[in-house]
């Protein structure tokens, strides 16, 4: 197994190139990030979501992260509220995401996301074998 971290720099660079990476800044420093794109992970495709939607009507949240120095200060909630706002503004029907840690899962549930299923996203090389899928209908 590689000693690697996820998300990778390449993930963020792809978000910049696709114009779908958003950041939270404080005093000129990036303290959080979120990617909102229409492209799902392959493991999302066979899942029975709340609604059967074309991914042009869904935003998938990737690379949702808050710098550890700013954890617990509401930055994550603000980023999710931003994503919900963008989704509604662009007439999306749902937001979807996957999670692998309890603090994030608690936040998603507080923001109205519903558990759908647990899947393997193929990130075992990063020691991340299982992810829970969540959806918020807009």
Q: Domain ranges for the chain, please list them.
A: 9-137
Residues of the chain with confidence (pLDDT) below 50: 1-4
CATH architecture entry for 9-137:
3-Layer(aba) Sandwich (3.40)
Task: State residue 75's pLDDT score.
Answer: 96
What pLDDT is recorded for position 102? Answer: 86
Tell me, what's the pLDDT at 136? 98
**What pLDDT is recorded for position 87?**
97
Q: What is the pLDDT of residue 44?
A: 87
pLDDT confidence of residue 107: 95
CB atoms within 10 A of CB 31: 19
User: CA dist 97 to 12, 61, 126, Å?
Assistant: 16, 5, 18
pLDDT recorded at residue 56? 97
Global confidence as pTM: 0.85
């Amino acid at each position: 197994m590689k000693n690697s971290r996820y998300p990778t720099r390449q993930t963020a660079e792809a978000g910049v190139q696709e114009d779908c990476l958003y950041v939270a800044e404080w005093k000129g420093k990036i303290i959080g990030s979120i990617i909102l794109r229409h492209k799902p992970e392959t493991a999302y495709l066979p899942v029975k979501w709340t609604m059967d939607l074309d991914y042009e009507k869904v935003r998938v949240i990737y690379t949702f992260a808050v710098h550890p120095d700013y954890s617990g200060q509401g930055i994550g909630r603000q980023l999710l509220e931003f994503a919900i706002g963008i989704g509604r503004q662009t007439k999306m029907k749902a937001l979807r995401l996957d999670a692998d840690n309890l603090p994030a899962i608690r936040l998603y549930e507080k923001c109205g996301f519903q558990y759908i299923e647990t899947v393997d996203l193929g990130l075992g090389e990063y020691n991340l074998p299982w992810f829970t899928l969540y959806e918020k209908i807009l």
